[in-house]
Amino acid sequence: MQEENQAGLPATDTGEKIPPENYVFALDIGTRSVIGIVGLPRGERLEVCAVEIAEHEKRAMIDGQIEDIEQVSRVAGLVKNRLEARVGYPLKRVCVAAAGRALRTCEVHFELELQSPQVITPEILCRLEAGAVQQAEQEFSPSLEEDSRSVFYLVGYSVSRYLLDNYPLASLLDHRGQQLAADVIATFLPREVVDSLYSAMQKCGLEVASLTLEPIAAMNAAIPQSLRLLNLALVDIGAGTSDIAVSKDGGVVGYTMATIAGDEVTEALMREYLVDFPTAEKIKMKLGQEEDVSFQDILGLEQQISAAELKEKVTPVLRRLAEEISGQILKANGAAPSAVFLVGGGSKLPGLCACVAELLELPPTRVALGGRNFSTYLTKADPSLTTPEFATPLGIAVSSALNLISDSFTILLNGARAKLFRSNSLSVLDVLLMNGWRHDQMMGRSGKSLVFELDGENKVIYGGHPTLAKIQLNGRDASLSDTVRAGDSILFEPAQNGRDAALTLGDVIDLHSPGTVFLGGQEVALGLRAVINGQPGTPEQAIHARDRVRTRPVSTLEQLLSFAGVPEGTPFLVNGDAVPPHTLLRPGDRVEPVNWEKSEAPFPEKGKAPHEDLRAAPAEPAQPKAAAMQPDLSDLLAQEAAGLAREEGPKPQTPGTAVLFPEPQSGLFAAQAAEQASATQQEQAPQLPTPPVFVILNGRAVRLDGKTDRSPYCLIDTLNLVDVDLTTPQGAIVLRVNGHEASYLEPLKDGDEVEIYWDGQIRKP
């Protein structure tokens, strides 16, 4: 007990003046009750100054999760007021723990491929681990929008294995390589679990100074750090949940929970003896006693049962509880641990320790009640505090006292207090992940690429690079790997994704005309001409995914006549002189047929395509026609565009064949003149096949083309294109489309990202 001194500071029993902020206030909000502890750090120990307990009047907590925030805040406020009256100063900041009931754990394998071999820096390692954490979270929330915050808080993660260029390493730092991979176990809490805890504390006028998990807090009290080199399991059996933590090699390596706890026994007694919940709780407390148990059932009848009968009735449910606990320990640890500590109110059920030992095939002496080690952290032994039910509240207080001695490990993130689940060494990456920021918000992603076809060749224009996130630690530029300490302030501005690739026809092809020539008295522009999907294109016209661009140069006499649709072999003069077909034309040149007069018209009749005129041409030269019949050159050019469109018709190929996209080239794309289709091809158009599909296969862009039955392209159509030896099995085959598992018959559409590889191989994520 403390007394208020003259300076307004609380004093200890020895009269020592201690500032209020040096004290630790811990609350354990359980299913049945709220326990509050106020203590003072004394070196490596905690001096407990006051303890208060208040039970919930109604069921405000279900399986450790807050259901009625108002009721929980009222009971927590009652405990707070009692403690304030005892210690003599107001309590403003509190240390709490979240129940493990809603914990979600996921194991993932994540891969990161660098552009070239390089030395692995802490920043690259952060990219790898953050990507793994985001992949784990997507297992729980695959529909999360890109611009939204996470619906989960990261509790913690551990890397069980690193790989560098397919070679296992204990650490990747300072090694040189290109293909990185990590096996990661990540643990999350749903946002509503944490937010409800913060809301309840806020309602009773308290600010959360630190947040941990109940199984971690209980382990801090029951298993000293020096013992964690051993493979030990701790089970905190409360009223609604049984939280489990496993230690090995000096740290906590896993968390899980059992779905049943002490209330399971209480509810079994209610059903067996027709009593209400409080009466069943009193009967449960007398388990293990030798005397008969007397009680009144809901009918008002007095009942009396022997201790032997009571033990017999609860044995089946006790067995179920032990089976659930043992199963979860084996799942979290992979095998039976060296020893098991049981703490919490439910741990004192008679026979539970022996039953767990039997199921884990451990000697009975290897499963025991926790509590004996509590005195390791206390300045003086108090028998009332060294019982199993005080593991969690003492653990919360001890965790805060020993790790957050005077500053309660406050970290500001963008001006607000950050939510933290542990107080030991943290990096900027840890803080961001624990507060809902995702990997892509820290790193950004490149913009979407644009795939199109130019003169029969596939081209890829890559999206823009992302703008990196801006991170400042205490006003100075920082990186994700920088260590964060108590009192630090982090300013974080998310990365911006790169712009999607955008392109116009003028960006691809130089459509500038150096001038015009006169063909049969009509002006024709020189230079490169282009059509998009069969329609004449303009320099400012946008190119979209899957567009087919065809070009034709008009620079020589032969090209001019071909473009205008003049039948091959028709003699023409340039400025009155006979010249070879490959002669380059100059602006202002006049191109006229031999023996041409203005009344002559060697061109096809208006309304006919050039090739139709060619097929209908008589053996003898055409007779002169009236000048009025001479076609307008714009009509000829439109007809030629239609001819190009006909040439665009898909060419039947073997189903499933594809052409790999080349790497992007700088500058303008060079184009060659397209060959005209033969008259026979024009007379009989081929059957239209399934439109081609452009996908990314194991990081390479490919075009699926050639199906003639109009059936859609599926994942199976890519098997003969993948750079994986499918004839020699190397484990389980992995089929993924856009990051999700897929079947061989998964339909594919433009832009899909397809991955096919043997499980364990390195692939770019």
Query: Does 486 share its domain with 565?
Result: no
In which domain, by residue range, is 709 found? 653-666+689-765
Q: What's the predicted TM-score (pTM) here?
A: 0.53
Q: What is the CATH number of the domain that holds 311?
A: 3.30.420.40
What does the DSSP assignment read for 705-717?
A: B---S-PPPBGGG
Distance of alpha carbon 240 from alpha carbon 66, whole angstroms: 12
Instruction: Determine the straight-line distance between the first and last CA of the chain, rounded to whole angstroms.
Output: 60
- φ, ψ (nearest 5 deg) of residue 552: -150, 120
Indicate the number of domains in the chain.
4
Express each pLDDT in 374-409 by its tens digit. 767 777 767 777 788 888 888 888 877 776 333 345
Q: If we measure between CA atoms, which residue out of 530, 338, 352 comes closest to residue 453? A: 530
Domain-embedded: residue 110: no
Q: Which bin fits 745, alpha (ψ -120 to 50), beta or left (φ > 0)?
A: alpha
Domain-embedded: residue 247: yes
Determine the pLDDT at residue 569.
78
Q: Is 18 exposed, middle or buried (0-12, 13-18, 19+ CB in 10 A)?
A: middle
pLDDT band for position 14 (cuts 50, 70, 90): low
Determine the pLDDT at residue 181.
93
Domain-embedded: residue 731: yes
DSSP 730: -
Q: Does residue 203 contact residue 70 with C-beta atoms inside 8 Å? A: yes
Q: Does residue 360 contact residue 331 with C-beta atoms inside 8 Å? A: no
Express each pLDDT in 71-92 by its tens digit. 999 999 999 999 999 988 899 8
Strand bridging mode 577-578 / 548-554: unpaired
pLDDT band for position 175 (cuts 50, 70, 90): very high
SS3 content of the chain, % helix, strand, coil (to 5): 25, 30, 45
Express each pLDDT in 177-192 by its tens digit. 999 999 887 777 777 8
Type of residue numbered 364: P
Among residues 435, 467, 493, the one where a domain terminates is: 493
Express each pLDDT in 229-250 by its tens digit. 889 999 988 877 788 888 887 7
Domain-embedded: residue 381: no
Distance of alpha carbon 121 from alpha carbon 114, whole angstroms: 12
Determine the pLDDT at residue 180.
93
725 DSSP β-pair partners: none
Query: Does 593 share its domain with 618?
Result: yes
535 DSSP β-pair partners: 532
| Residue whose token pair is 């003169």 | 455
Express each pLDDT in 439-451 by its tens digit. 778 877 778 888 8
pLDDT band for position 648 (cuts 50, 70, 90): very low
Domain-embedded: residue 298: yes
Domain-embedded: residue 459: yes
Query: Does 758 share its domain with 723?
Result: yes
Domain-embedded: residue 486: yes
Share of the chain above pLDDT 90, in %: 15
Query: Does 633 share its domain with 509?
Result: yes
